[in-house]
Amino acid sequence: MTDTAADARNSHIRYWIIAVLFIISSINYASRATLSFAAVPLAKEIEVSTVQLGFIFSAFAWSYAIAQIPGGALLDRYGSRPVYLWSITLWAIFTGAQAFVTWLSFVPVLISLFVLRLMLGFSEAPSFPANARIVANWFPNAERGTASAIFNSSQYFSLVAFAPLMGWLAQDLGWRSVFLAMGGIGLIGAAIFWAVVQSPSRHKGISKREYDYIEKNGALVNLDRPAAAAQPIRWSIVGQLLSNRMLLGVYLAQYSITALTYFYATWFPIYLIKARGMSLAGAGFASAGPAIMGFVGGVLGGVFSDYLLRKGMPLSTARKIPILLGLVISCSILLCNYTDSQAWIMAFMSLAFFGKGVAALGWAVMSDAAPREATGLAGSVFNLFGNLAGIFTPIGIGYILAATNNNWDMALVFVFAHSLVAMVAYGFITGEIKRVVLKTA
């Protein structure tokens, strides 16, 4: 932090920080979705069943979930910047490496692809807990919902920006080009992150005016100071997090909401191709519609929640109203089963993902509720529960399709049911949303 006369200005560095988190998170989600667009042309080279494809889709989430708690502990011990930078670099490398799975003649293709998806999950594990940690580090309470919604809405913008590209690459240049392009883009993202993101206490561009403002209004500006980064990993904290009823309700809801995300990031393009007769490139461009609506809903949900908070509404109510409203809207995905019109299907999907975006305030809730001394670990437990959906949703849909002779109506019912579970979690289990205070030993 500088001490010059220019400190009287308002630097607004936090807006640059959230912009970079948005870009990095968009690349993050696109890297996860690469296989969705490569799967159809890849299947022409190798024989793969729907159940096998479901397991390969799930490989990312197995390792991503397993690595959440260690990843969060690393964030709390070493700080957000170094851990996140390594995360971005490694996931870019493992994304690009998937282009070469058929060249490893000594390893079966399905095994090598499964292993590389596992490694992608391990490398991406610290990313969203780091996002939440950086938001808590940089943003005051009344801006945190919007900031969290912005980085979380990247999951939708990701497909707006990259789904048409990946669909075109897979169709015209081959499936390998999808992995190579997204791996290269990931390395560019790592360079951008290194150049821009730093903690408030170390950032050379922040003015005293901005620093004082965010500190006074609730930003945890000292979160990544050396003294905090050197704290030991305290695994006993996990037990306290898992015994808190409020957090358990939030975790269950996040699992259910994330199931919709994983349907969209794995089976959705295949649904458009196999069930609705679209071309590979057409599915890529069609995916952008629901993604745009999800992005709009994601931003509006955070803005609306923060608006209610500024108007004096209690924190818990200001967070729950948009979440529950969005979940009701997300149920419109079921209407796709009652029409054969591609236009109406895309309209209902767009409406469903708009609602899902509005409801996706879980990271804002975690920024509000996580104990101050374990923000990374609390965020990682939260993300672990959410991404268990990445294991069971792709596999579950694969088995449903195999058991019902590719009946996609039942697959959409399966996705729809998760919205109902999330409503119950926030409506009846969570209770009041407030900062958790850990018990001392």
pLDDT digits (tens, 9 = 90+) for 191-235: 999 998 888 877 788 788 888 887 787 777 677 664 444 455 566
Q: Which residue has the higher pLDDT, 426 or 54?
A: 426
Query: How large a percentage of the chain has pLDDT more than 90?
Result: 31
What pLDDT, on the 0 to 100 scale, is given for residue 230? Answer: 45
Task: Give the start-to-end residue ranges of the domains of the chain.
Answer: 8-221+229-429
Q: With 70 as the cut, is the pLDDT of residue 7 above it?
A: no
Q: Please give the pLDDT value at position 409.
A: 92
Instruction: Write the CB contacts of 271 (distance below 8 Å, at least 6 apart in sequence).
Output: 408, 411
Average pLDDT over residues 164-173: 86
Q: How confident is the model at residue 183, as a pLDDT? A: 94
Question: Which of these, 78, 367, 376, 369, lies nearest to 225 by C-alpha position?
Answer: 78
Start-to-end CA distance of the chain, whole Å, equals: 36
Report the pLDDT averaged over residues 5-18: 71
Q: Which structure tokens are listed for 160?
A: 């707006």
Please choose, from the candidates 80, 71, 69, 88, the residue with its C-alpha nearest in 3D space to the C-alpha of residue 229: 80
Average the pLDDT over 119-128 and give the result.
89
| Average of per-residue pLDDT values in the chain | 84
128-158 pLDDT per residue, tens: 888 888 888 888 877 877 787 787 778 778 8
Give the helix ranges, DSSP H, for 125-244: 127-138, 141-152, 154-168, 175-196, 208-216, 226-229, 236-242
Choose between 117 and 279: higher pLDDT: 117
Residue 258 · residue 387 · CB < 8 Å:
yes
Angle at 358 between CA 71 and CA 254, to 5 degrees: 35
**Above 70 in pLDDT, residue 172?**
yes
Give me the amino acid identity at 324: L
- Residue 435: CB atoms within 10 A of its CB come to 11
- What is the model's pLDDT at position 9? 58
- Write down the pLDDT at residue 229: 43
How many Cβ atoms sit within 10 Å of the Cβ of residue 279?
Answer: 14
Higher pLDDT, 58 or 223: 58
Specify the CATH superfamily of domain 8-221+229-429.
MFS general substrate transporter like domains (1.20.1250.20)
What's the confidence (pLDDT) of residue 233?
A: 54
Which residue has tokens 């958790």?
436
What pLDDT was estimated at residue 228? 42
- CA nearest to 401, candidates 255, 256, 257, 266: 266
pLDDT confidence band for 101 (50 / 70 / 90): confident
Q: What is the pLDDT of residues 359-379, one digit of tens each?
A: 988 878 887 888 877 776 787
Which residues are CB-contacts of 243 (< 8 A; sequence separation ≥ 6)? Answer: none
Q: What whole-number distance in Å separates Cα of residue 162 and Cα of residue 184?
A: 13
Tokens of residue 341, six digits: 């019109």
DSSP symbols for 56-87: HHHHHHHHHHHTHHHHHHHHHHH-HHHHHHHH
Q: Which two tokens stand for residue 424?
A: 């119950």
What pLDDT was estimated at residue 132? 81
